[in-house]
Amino acid sequence: MATIRSFVCIDVPPEVKAAIERLQTKLRHLPVEVSWTRPANVHLTLKFLGDVEEARLGRVGEALDEIAQAHAPFELATDRGGVFPNADRPRVLWIGVRDERGLLRALVAQVEDALAQHGFAREARPFTAHLTIGRVRSERSARELARRFLAEEFPSYRFLVTHLILMRSDLRPDGALYTPLHRAPLRDRS
């Protein structure tokens, strides 16, 4: 049976993607092997599903519709940069996302609960709202990259969450290609 690599996410506005591209450009000259996320691909992952049988994706979309209808659009904001697992051994560079009212955390918990009922394993690690901007491929000069990256001031952009997106991910030699499979609009209060 055919499977589709997929995840649930929230898109971010063009001004956030443009700011990330400017930051990446500042860091690209450092002698570190980094796989930079294409700015067009930057998103806020809520749940990685992995390889899913195509027939199950319809039920995932229905679950997202139900969750989205229980939430009005809400605001998030970009925050400072961070690294996983730590600055001494950076593997992932990311921009944080502030969830000042706790609405994102509640949404993620509902996504976890709903998809667990459809047989998807719960995430073991606590949720950290972030936008991945690069993956470090070599330890050479990685600490210097982390130091420089963490010293950068990233602007705080406020943006409105209006949809949950079920995204397809096709891995290609030139980077991942993301295709929305389903968009679940959050309930409009008007």
Helix spans in the chain (H): 14-27, 54-69, 103-116, 142-151
Determine which one of 29, 43, 71, 163 is catalytic: 43
Distance CA 87, CA 91 (A): 9
> How big is the CA angle at 142 (ends 136 and 144), to the nearest 5 degrees?
140
CB 132 within 8 A of CB 95: no
Distance CA 33, CA 44 (A): 24
CB 164 within 8 A of CB 64: yes
Active site residue 29: no
Q: What share of the chain is helix, strand, coil (3-state, %, to 5)?
A: 30, 35, 35
Determine which one of 29, 71, 118, 130 is catalytic: 130
Catalytic residue ranges: 43, 130
